């Protein structure tokens, strides 16, 4: 990007005509080894509806895609059907994981062109899928490591309002017929509402590069900065900066490893991800952390085990910030939920163990009561728990 074009391309006010104004997280695309089976895992453990699919039976010859929905969360699970499909190669190198954090915009082609003008590298050129009912257009840019951001614009039957109500994802998706599991999940909700934040792990020394990329290319703003004094234990450390998309759409923390006596959890991720940066965790927002975690635990979700000693000090710590936690303290302890507070309020959060055999991607379940931060007060307890897990895997 030339210096001359920089001020105009990044001085991005809240103007409605900004092509890079993000309207929503359109969907999160995973590349997985077997989308059909993964769909059942995420539906069974996390309560998603297996809503639509495209595969050989619907005329999709190259790949199978499953759309899973819950609240305003849309996950697309993609498997390549031949060895030449890029999803197959990525799964071989990195294991199952997130490929695309896609955003809804007013005009995908304009958003793509603007991102390129701002310095982005193309992942794929804009393409339109249409039928008599409507159309979607999408184009993608590369961000850190294997990850891309697609810009998606929607028309007719496929517009965002319809999609949020369970409408078709795109002309290539067909609605699924009834699943017994979908009925069960409607009767036993997990309460996950939307993607609160999405965390990336990048290589040592690259965090600031990607912070600048999100500022210059997508017009994000720096929200918080944690350094390795905040996020360290005796053995391992990391550094993190949080990028904010504005308009409450999403926050994207970016981590890099920091020097510690032993291997950082970020380095462990990179080691098992073929040294490739990628998405470390996706945080789902709930308005009732206790009900969500209780239901997820009942379904067999494997959460990180928090040491019992955590609850000896946590209530004093949050009370000092001036907030009374209205949820039942004993129930929080029984469910192993983490609590933190800042100047604006408090939050409840809990992290799953890795979702696949490689210690890479995991989920977070978060409930905010005023707090817009990320659980800084929990980092030490959390990292101690993570290190115990790393040691068990022989990776510390």
Query: What does the binding site for Fe ion look like in residue numbers (CB under 5 A)?
Result: 283, 364
Q: Which is nearer to Fe ion, 340 or 364 (CB)?
A: 364
Q: Which is nearer to Fe ion, 86 or 370 (CB)?
A: 370
How far is residue 238's CA from residue 258's CA, in Å, rounded to a whole number? 4
CB-neighbour burial class of residue 326 (10 A; exposed 0-12, middle 13-18, buried 19+)? exposed
CB of 139 to Fe ion, least distance (A): 28
Q: Which is nearer to Fe ion, 64 or 283 (CB)?
A: 283
CB of 280 to Fe ion, least distance (A): 9
Q: Which is nearer to Fe ion, 50 or 365 (CB)?
A: 365
Report which of 26, 25, 32, 145 is spatially closest to residue 97, judged by C-alpha positions.
32
Residue 209 CB neighbour total at 10 angstroms: 13
Q: Which is nearer to Fe ion, 153 or 280 (CB)?
A: 280
Q: Which is nearer to Fe ion, 213 or 226 (CB)?
A: 226
Tokens 């929503």 belong to residue = 24
Sorted by sequence, the CB contacts under 8 Å of residue 11 that are 6+ apart come out as none
Q: Which is nearer to Fe ion, 317 or 376 (CB)?
A: 376
Q: Which is nearer to Fe ion, 170 or 390 (CB)?
A: 390
CB of 199 to Fe ion, least distance (A): 5
CB of 38 to Fe ion, least distance (A): 22
Length in residues, the chain: 396
CB of 146 to Fe ion, least distance (A): 20
CB of 75 to Fe ion, least distance (A): 17
CB of 190 to Fe ion, least distance (A): 18
CB of 285 to Fe ion, least distance (A): 11
């Amino acid at each position: 990007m030339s210096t001359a074009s920089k001020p105009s391309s990044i001085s991005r006010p809240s103007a409605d005509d900004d092509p890079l104004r993000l309207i929503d997280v359109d969907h999160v695309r995973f590349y997985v080894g077997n989308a059909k089976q993964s769909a059942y895992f995420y539906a069974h453990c996390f309560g998603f509806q297996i809503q639509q699919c495209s595969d050989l039976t619907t005329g999709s010859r190259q790949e199978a895609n499953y759309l899973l929905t819950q609240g305003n969360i849309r996950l697309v699970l993609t498997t390549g059907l031949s060895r030449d499909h890029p999803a197959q190669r990525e799964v071989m190198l990195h294991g199952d994981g997130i490929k695309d954090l896609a955003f809804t915009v007013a005009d995908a082609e304009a958003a793509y062109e603007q991102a390129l003008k701002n310095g982005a590298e193309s992942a794929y050129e804009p393409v339109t899928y249409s039928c008599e009912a409507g159309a979607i257009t999408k184009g993608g840019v590369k961000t850190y490591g294997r990850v891309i951001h697609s810009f998606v614009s929607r028309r007719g039957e496929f517009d965002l309002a319809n999609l949020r109500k369970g409408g078709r994802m795109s002309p290539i998706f067909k609605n699924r017929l009834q699943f017994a599991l979908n009925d069960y999940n409607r009767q036993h909700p997990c309460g996950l509402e939307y993607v609160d934040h999405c965390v990336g792990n990048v290589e040592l020394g690259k965090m600031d590069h990607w912070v600048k990329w999100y500022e210059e290319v997508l017009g994000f703003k720096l929200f918080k900065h944690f350094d390795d004094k905040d996020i360290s234990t005796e053995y391992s450390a990391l550094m993190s900066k949080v990028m904010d998309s504005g308009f409450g759409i999403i926050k994207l923390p970016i981590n890099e490893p920091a020097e510690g006596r032993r291997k950082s959890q970020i380095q462990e991720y990179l080691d098992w991800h073929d040294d490739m940066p990628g998405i470390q965790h996706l945080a789902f927002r709930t308005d009732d952390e206790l009900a969500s975690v209780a239901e997820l635990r009942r379904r067999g979700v494997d959460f990180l085990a928090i040491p019992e000693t955590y609850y000896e000090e946590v209530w004093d710590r949050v009370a000092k910030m001036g907030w009374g936690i209205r949820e039942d303290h004993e129930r929080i302890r029984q469910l192993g939920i983490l609590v933190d507070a800042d100047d604006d309020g408090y939050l409840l959060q809990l992290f799953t163990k890795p979702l696949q055999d490689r210690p890479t991607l995991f989920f977070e379940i978060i409930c905010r009561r005023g707090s817009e931060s990320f659980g800084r007060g929990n980092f030490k307890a959390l990292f101690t728990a993570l290190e115990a897990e790393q040691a068990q895997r022989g990776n510390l």
